[in-house]
Amino acid sequence: MVLTVIGSGAWGLALAQLCEANGHQVVVWSRRSKLSLETAIAQGEIIISAVSMAGVRATAQQLQSLSLNPEAILVTATKGLDLETGATPSQIWQSTLPNHSVVVLSGPNLSKEISRGLPAATVVASSNLAAAISVQNIFASKNFRVYTNSDPIGVELGGTLKNVIAIAVGVCDGLKLGTNAKAALITRSLPEIMQVGKYFGAQPETFWGLSGLGDLLATCSSNLSRNYQVGFGLGEGKNLEQILQDLEGTAEGVNTARVLHDLTNRTGLTLPICGYVYRLLNGEITPIQAVAGLMDRDLKAEL
């Protein structure tokens, strides 16, 4: 099968590597490529988007003006929310190219581990089950187990929202607050993630799977996570601007925290952890003040 991967960052290259190992013909394209995008996607039966959130809409609009294979399946592997509209990547792709099936790929997938051939699992989700199964078969291998799911928005939100929580957990570790605090923080973040999921119409059980809890645990427990690195640096007292300059790649949780802040203002959702992360990122409070704010909240029942 002929595949096109749009985005040559660590994640895009890891996905290309998985497909090539399964014997597929893969073309990797980025803005720095000598090859035109039109040429890169000309024969593509599967088009995989691994661009940062900031580039999703522009990339989708570019493809809209080109001659795609009418049967091409679009796979989105981006984790983030649009700053202007709050839309997810799959919503942008589906609204821009409505005649194509869109599949969300998300899970506890640290790109450096996948590139090293370490075992991992992921989820591919779509309202079109046949499209999801096609993508499942393309990626599945002895080192990469792939599950299907019929809740694309839930799968997508799990991978997106955990980035904000990973910043919070990084702060916790940067402050050396211990295992108890980290366990409490991760556990209490799940109700917040599920609240947002419910608002978007996701299925609650999706967040207990690989793309929800699984991705949350991976991102919050590894210093390979860029969002965790941002939080850890803040916990150590470093400047956000400098942290982001030194980072390899994009920490999508920074922008996602802003989108969630706007969402809570519009809807009245209660997202205390995400709210304190937003205030911390914007320099309104210190890491110690964020911890104190969470610990001083009114007492209530757990469930």
Answer positive or negative: Cα dihedral of 28, 10, 166, 261.
negative
Strands 102-106 and 120-125: antiparallel
112, 162, 238, 300: the active-site residue: 162
Alpha-carbon distance of 213 to 206, in angstroms, equals 9
- CA 254 centroid distance within chain: 12
Alpha-carbon distance of 26 to 40, in angstroms, equals 10
At 302, the amino acid letter reads E
What does the buried/exposed string (b/e) look like for 195-214 if buried means 16 or more CB atoms within 10 Å of the residue's CB? bbbeeeebeeebbebbbbbb
Any idea what DSSP says for residue 249?
S
Alpha-carbon distance of 66 to 46, in angstroms, equals 15
Q: 102: part of which helix (H) or strand (E)?
A: strand 102-106
CA atoms within 13 A on the CB side of 1: 20
Span between the terminal Cα atoms of the chain, in Å: 48
CA atoms within 13 A on the CB side of 62: 15
Alpha-carbon distance of 265 to 62, in angstroms, equals 33
**Burial class of 295 by CB neighbour count within 10 A (0 to 12, 13 to 18, 19+):** exposed
162 noted as active-site residue: yes
Q: Are 279 and 296 contacting, i.e. CB atoms less than 8 angstroms apart?
A: no
Residues taking part in catalysis = 162
